[in-house]
Amino acid sequence: MLAYTIRRVLISVPVLLGSTILVFIMVKLSGDPLESIKLRNPPPPPQTIKLEEHRLGLDQSWPLQYWNWLKGLVLHGNFGAAVQPSDNIGSEIGSHLWVTMRLVFFSVLIALILAIITGVLSAVKQYSALDYTTTFFGFLFLSMPVFWFAVLLKSWGIWYNQNVSANTFYTIGDKSVVLENDTTWGHITDVAGHMVLPTIVLGLAGYAGWTRFTRASMLEVLNSDHVRLARAKGLRSRKVLVRHALRNALIPLTTVTALDIAALLGGAILTETVFQWQGMGALFVQSLRDKDAHLMMGWLLVSATIVILFNLIADLLYGVLDPRIRHA
């Protein structure tokens, strides 16, 4: 298992390097990060432009710029200078990742619980009214654009607030700037009020796909020989369902969930934009807007590492869920 893990980690290093090179070239080709300064009226003095170019390393050739970035990262853990001068890319990624993690954690929790419950029930009660209902809602959430759903949910939240004459739901940020009820309970309710709408948006988007996976997987397992055997042996249906069927059915869901969580941590871009959460999605947008190659490479490195890590976790979890699977 350890050798397998080490091998997987080592294989990922050239993948990460290759992707940073690709992203570096793409960002460089997208334009000049100093464009907004150069286009000012009146224009800044040439010395100012030169100082900025030097600070960002733009006065060097592309290969040298990339090499210096890589050297700084490996030797000093430095992600390079950001276009926005007060930003430290390392701490920026850290703080943005934390914001996204909070959002993703609760969304995934809700989505997984709902997906497993409805998926199992749909499979057990195949072609029943319950199955058709969950299928309908599954496809509904699957087909709804996240951006549109988020805007719609915001409107509902505002409508609700206006009807109860209280700010129950918030539409921007992860907490209020000014809190009237400045107590621990006040802080908890404030954070919860900010989390409800984006969590529902992100959670339902994940739920829709996962419930279909669970249903399909459960149906396959429920029709397998070992489940029939378990029933024939006279085991209680709850025990058959949970211990023999669900455990096996969770294996494909584990893969999908692990990859989806990794993708979400890389940036739930649309949800974060609509609700103005300063997470990884916002950081990605900022790096694009600023044409900031260092920031984009840092973002990519962290996001790609998370994807690889969760991929690895999924592989390792197979062994836990099904002892027959062994990693040689």
Partner 1 sequence: MRTTKGLFGLVAVGVASLLAVSACGGGSGSSTGGGDTSSSFADCATKPLTCNSGTTKQGGTVTYTIEKTISGWNLNSAESNTFDFQEVLDGVLPQGPFINTPDLQPTLNSDLMVSAEQTSTSPQTIVYKINPNASWNDGTPINADDFTYMWKTNNGVDCKTCDPASTAGYDQIQTVTGSDNGKTVTVVFKTPYTDWKGLFGPMYPAHIANQHGDLGASWKWLNDNQPTYSGGPYVITGYQKDASVTETPNPKWFGKTKPSLEKLVFRIITDQNQEVPALQNNEVQTIYPQANADIINQVKQINGVQYMLGKGLQWEHLDLNLKNPLMADTKLRQAIFTTIDRKQLISKTVGQFDPGITPLNNHNFMPNMDGYKDVISSTGQGTGDVAKAKSLLTGAGYTGVGTALKSPSGAPVQFRCSFTQGNVLRQQSCELFQTELQALGIKVTPTPITSLGDTLSSGDYDMIIFAWVQTPFIFSGAYQTWLSTSSSNYGHWTNSQSDALLKDAAQNTDHAKAVQDLNDADQIMANDAYVLPLFQKPTFLAAYSNIVNIRDDATSTGPPYNVQEWGMRAS
Q: How far is the CB of 45 from partner 1 (least distance, A)?
A: 5
**37 touches partner 1 (CB under 8 A):** yes
By CB under 8 A, the residues from 150 to 169 that bind partner 1 are 151, 154-155, 157-158, 161-162, 164-169
Q: How many of the chain's residues bind partner 1 (CB under 8 A)?
A: 72
| Stretch of 5-13, 62-70, 282-290, 315-323 lying at the interface with partner 1 (CB under 8 A) | 282-290
By CB under 8 A, the residues from 214 to 273 that bind partner 1 are 238, 273
Task: Report residue 40 as tokens.
Answer: 């000012």
Return the number of the residue (86 or 143) whose C-beta is nearest partner 1.
Answer: 86
By CB under 8 A, the residues from 86 to 115 that bind partner 1 are 86-87, 95, 113-114
Nearest partner of 227 among 211, 207, 242, judged by Cα: 242
| Stretch of 32-40, 58-66, 223-231, 292-300 lying at the interface with partner 1 (CB under 8 A) | 32-40
| Three-class SS of 27-82 | HHHHCCCCHHHHCCCCCCCHHHHHHHHHHCCCCCCHHHHHHHHHHHHHHHCCCCEC
| Three-class SS of 3-34 | HHHHHHHHHHHHHHHHHHHHHHHHHHHHCCCC
**189 touches partner 1 (CB under 8 A):** yes
Q: How far is the CB of 212 from partner 1 (least distance, A)?
A: 19
Residues 6+ apart with CB under 8 A from 42: none
CA–CA distance, 283 with 289 (Å, rounded to integer): 10
**282 touches partner 1 (CB under 8 A):** yes
Task: Report residue 212 as tokens.
Answer: 């279909």
What is the pattern of x (binds partner 1, CB under 8 A) and - over residues 116-155? -x---x-----------------------------x--xx
By CB under 8 A, the residues from 293 to 322 that bind partner 1 are none
Residues 6+ apart with CB under 8 A from 209: 142, 256, 260
Return the number of the residue (40 or 233) whose C-beta is nearest partner 1.
Answer: 40
